[in-house]
Structure 1
């Protein structure tokens, strides 16, 4: 294969990967919307709850930053999550400001999420069984690096 043909083939494969990522993004958005509908969570609520479950208790300001939302928006999101029994707001014992709070996910509600995600989790387990450990390491590395590229691109858009 010539250098020119190899470069063309690499561009084609890169485009196939980018198209597959776009398809994945769209399918995951649809899945998350449907699953959110089953547990009565809107997209932003779902995102905030996932952040709290995965990254631990956060201040509302930090949650807003990580979710890419305006702090005023987060107030409404937290009100709905709290009414739904998904989160609790607690006074921050380490803060000198008595108004400071930390938001914590209520883990007892996670069983409902696990049941809702059971089908997808089983399919992902079966899919991963078809790959060797070295292949899974490459896939995990690719996904982490894709996430980092998305984070940098998001930050660029925020500063532009």
Structure 2
């Protein structure tokens, strides 16, 4: 395949990623609406569930949000019973707080994503292990490229 074909394929991949991003945003919007959360609250809850316990400042950095914005998000998540703020016993500063997801609540999230999860299992069943490894590697590298581009824009 000539360079024109490679360029067309590259454009097709980038277009497909944009469509996927848009579709996942719509799915997340529906999930957050059902949970009476804002989209950004759901994003932060996912970060906390995946990487927590985290300090509010570490979470703000990961989410690319201002610490003052993060305070409001954490207040809403705590009020909804999604997270708890705890004194961080590891920290040198005794006032420092760690935020963690409330384990019992994550079942509600899994239930709302179950349709997509099942669809992804069925989709992956049609690919070989080698192909899945290639796709997973590509997606990880695309995520990393996105993190770099975000860092360049935020100065982080």
TM class, shorter-chain normalised?
over 0.9
Question: Runs of 5+ in structure 2 lacking a partner?
Answer: none
Whole-angstrom distance in 1 between the partners of 2:148 and 2:92: 34
Moved over 4 A (4+): none
Q: Secondary structure at the match of 1:99?
A: coil
Question: TM-score, normalised on structure 1?
Answer: 0.94
Cα deviations across residues 54-81 of structure 1 (Å, max 9, x unaligned)?
A: 1120000000000110000010000000
Question: Runs of 5+ in structure 1 lacking a partner?
Answer: none
- Are 1:83 and 2:79 counterparts? yes
* Matched residue, 2:33: 37
Cα deviations across residues 12-45 of structure 1 (Å, max 9, x unaligned)?
A: 0000000001101111111100111111121111
Q: How many residues align?
A: 156
Whole-angstrom distance in 2 between the partners of 1:36 and 1:123: 20
Larger displacement relative to structure 2 (62-71 or 88-97): 88-97
* Matched residue, 2:15: 19
Question: TM-score, normalised on structure 2?
Answer: 0.96
Q: Answer yes or no: is the 8 Å Cα contact 2:64–2:154 preserved in 1.
A: no
* Matched residue, 2:42: 46
Taking only aligned residues, the RMSD between alpha carbons, in angstroms, comes to 1.2
Larger radius of gyration: 1
1:56-135 to 2 correspondences below 5 Å: 56-135=52-131
